[in-house]
């Protein structure tokens, strides 16, 4: 089951929009960034049976941008087919 939209950054899926919530992959760097910002990470399920994802504070666009960049940097590059 997929969300309404998937969110890509630098060719990587870093999260998505699920039921009007922006949820991001909880990478170690993203969790560290939230801690450095004095934010308590909040988690939620995008759909039943899925892994928990970070709930992004969409009212803080700069933090969302930094989280997206951090998550994309941590994910492995997509494998080339062919």
Q: How far apart are alpha carbons 3 and 21 in whole angstroms?
A: 10
pLDDT in the model for residue 81 = 73
Between residues 25 and 79, the one the model is more confident about: 25
Q: What is the pTM of this model?
A: 0.85
Q: How far apart are alpha carbons 78 and 43 in whole angstroms?
A: 26
Burial of 78 (0-12, 13-18, 19+ CB in 10 A): exposed
Return the structure tokens found at 18.
């699920």
Statement: residue 77 has pLDDT above 70: no
Q: How far apart are alpha carbons 18 and 51 in whole angstroms?
A: 13
Question: What does the pLDDT look like over 1-52, one tens digit per residue?
Answer: 555 899 999 888 999 999 889 999 999 999 999 999 999 999 999 989 999 9
Give the residues across from 54 on adjacent strands. 24, 43
């Amino acid at each position: 089951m997929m969300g309404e939209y998937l969110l890509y950054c630098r060719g990587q899926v870093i999260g998505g929009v699920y039921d009007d919530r922006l949820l991001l992959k909880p990478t170690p760097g993203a969790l560290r960034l939230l801690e450095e910002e004095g934010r308590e990470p909040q988690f939620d399920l995008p759909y039943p049976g899925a892994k928990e994802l970070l709930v992004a504070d969409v009212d803080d666009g700069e933090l969302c941008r930094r989280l997206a960049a951090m998550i994309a940097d941590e994910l492995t590059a997509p494998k080339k087919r062919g």
